[in-house]
Amino acid sequence: MIIFASETFCIMKKIVLFLLMSALVVSPAFAREKEKAPKNEKVKNVILLIGDGMGLAHVATWMISQDYGPTAFDRAQFVGVSKTYSANNRVTDSAASATTMATGHKTNNGMLGMLPDGTEPENIGELARAKGIPMGLIATSYVLDATPGAFYAHAANRGHFKDIMEDLIALKPAVLVGGGRRYFTDEKYTGGENMIDKAVQAGFTYCETPEQFYETEATPILGLFSEGSYPMVIERDSDFLADALNHTLDIFGKSKKGFFIMAEGSHIDHAAHANNAEQMVFEMEEFDKAVNAAFDYADTHKGTLVIVTADHETGGVTLLSGDRDYTKGESGINVTYSTNGHSGSPVLIYSYGASAWKFGRVMENTAIFDQIKELLF
């Protein structure tokens, strides 16, 4: 599929120009950002942004769609590489990878907060609760999905929604918002119990729309904004993730003990599973806004570390010249997929703010947790 087919020549001429200019302009700007990065500032707040399925080519497609920028990713102070393979496969799923980032242990694909031998390693939610540090989780899919789930739940399988809901009600993350209302009310998942009522009885403030969420600071907050997954950007505006992050930052900004937030651009993965480059760009636009919001917060709040990464690559995306003979002039870019599933490519880690330098290296995805634990807990 060739994207940016209209005015291709014009756009590509601009890109070539940009490339020529970037050699002169981008490098010194990057050096300045890196120098600005605080080296020994104590980490008080951690914002972890996960682009589900977001490989380097997804970021590059986003950059090309913006005529090479500047995007939020261009602001990163350090860039590292995360090796994402799981305990039982070189290609991970979201459950195994999120478990690793939330607990520091690799596990089998499909398992959530649980190791192959059935043990339940301590997760970031439990560490935060023990220290009285508020945790916020935001997903553009649904709140029980594997990526947010790994931060508060232990289940033998990511599809064991009742177990995951019981764990979330017991752990009480300060903020948990996204879609997925039907899992809390449909007896297929609940066994007949209304899990929203149960959450409210346990002390949660329940919100049914983003607007209700933006008007409350009464934690713990459970926001279920749609029956299934929250819609993809193609059906709404692209501000939700940044808005939800900014409101969570407003609430947590009053915490003397700091905070931990994980916000996920969940549908980047789904667009790539569908091999849909146009949707992928829309989802990247939303994620980019959230990354900018997090970096802006770090600029104005000392002790804030922002880590932007992915759980795995989806789609096996490669970027080919529109005309297969790239020795000729520009003829657009061809976003090409090699699979409807995930791939084993490592993913990048973009970091910013306090101790960001610690993520500027090649690392196992287990080390993302290890560093967060060492710095925050």
- Residues forming the active site: 94
Quickly count: other Cβ atoms within 10 Å of residue 20's Cβ: 10
Closest to Zn ion by CB, 269 or 283 = 269
Closest to Zn ion by CB, 55 or 113 = 55
Closest to Zn ion by CB, 51 or 220 = 51
Closest to Zn ion by CB, 55 or 80 = 55
Residue type present at position 132 = G
Q: Which of residues 94-153 bind Zn ion (CB under 5 A)?
A: none
List the one residue from 145, 269, 288, 311 that touches Zn ion (CB under 5 A).
269
**Distance separating alpha carbons of residues 278 and 40, to the nearest angstrom:** 41
Report the phi/psi class of residue 185: left, alpha or beta, with left for phi > 0 and alpha for psi in -120 to 50: alpha
Of all residues in the shown chain, the one whose CB is closest to Zn ion is 269
Distances, alpha carbon 236 to alpha carbons 77, 139, 148, 181, 212, in Å: 31, 15, 22, 19, 18
Contact 232, 283 (CB under 8 A): yes
**Distance separating alpha carbons of residues 20 and 36, to the nearest angstrom:** 26
Count of residues that bind Zn ion according to CB under 5 A = 1
Question: At its nearest, how many Å lie between Zn ion and the CB of residue 224?
Answer: 22
Backbone angles phi, psi at 41, to 5 degrees: -70, 135
Closest to Zn ion by CB, 102 or 376 = 102
Strands (E) in the chain, as ranges, are 2-3, 45-51, 78-83, 135-142, 175-179, 205-207, 221-224, 259-265, 304-309, 313-314, 318-321, 333-336, 342-343, 347-353, 362-364
Helix 124-131, helix 161-171: angle, nearest 10: 20
Question: At its nearest, how many Å lie between Zn ion and the CB of residue 342?
Answer: 6
Question: At its nearest, how many Å lie between Zn ion and the CB of residue 345?
Answer: 13
Closest to Zn ion by CB, 141 or 219 = 141
Query: Per-residue x/- marks for Zn ion, 194-233, CB under 5 A?
Result: ----------------------------------------
The interface region with Zn ion, picked from 40-48, 141-149, 164-172, 262-270 by CB under 5 A, is 262-270
Question: At its nearest, how many Å lie between Zn ion and the CB of residue 115?
Answer: 22
Closest to Zn ion by CB, 243 or 269 = 269
The interface region with Zn ion, picked from 33-41, 250-258, 268-276, 367-375 by CB under 5 A, is 268-276
Strand order in the sheet with 45-51: 205-207, 221-224, 175-179, 135-142, 259-265, 45-51, 304-309, 347-353, 78-83, 362-364
Q: How many CA atoms lie within 13 A of 82 on its CB side?
A: 36
**Distance separating alpha carbons of residues 211 and 227, to the nearest angstrom:** 16
The interface region with Zn ion, picked from 41-49, 126-134, 265-273, 282-290 by CB under 5 A, is 265-273
Is 167 an interacting residue with respect to Zn ion (CB under 5 A)? Answer: no
Question: At its nearest, how many Å lie between Zn ion and the CB of residue 365?
Answer: 15
SS (H, E, C) 112-163: ECCCCCCCCCCCHHHHHHHHCCCEEEEEEEECCCHHHHCCCCCECCCCCHHH
Question: At its nearest, how many Å lie between Zn ion and the CB of residue 261?
Answer: 22
Q: Is the dihedral of CA 352, 357, 358, 359 positive or negative?
A: positive
Q: Which residue has the tokens 């050699």?
A: 23
Closest to Zn ion by CB, 269 or 330 = 269
Q: Are strands 221-224 and 205-207 parallel, antiparallel or unpaired?
A: parallel
Question: At its nearest, how many Å lie between Zn ion and the CB of residue 295?
Answer: 26
Question: At its nearest, how many Å lie between Zn ion and the CB of residue 175?
Answer: 24
Binding positions for Zn ion, rule: CB under 5 A: 269
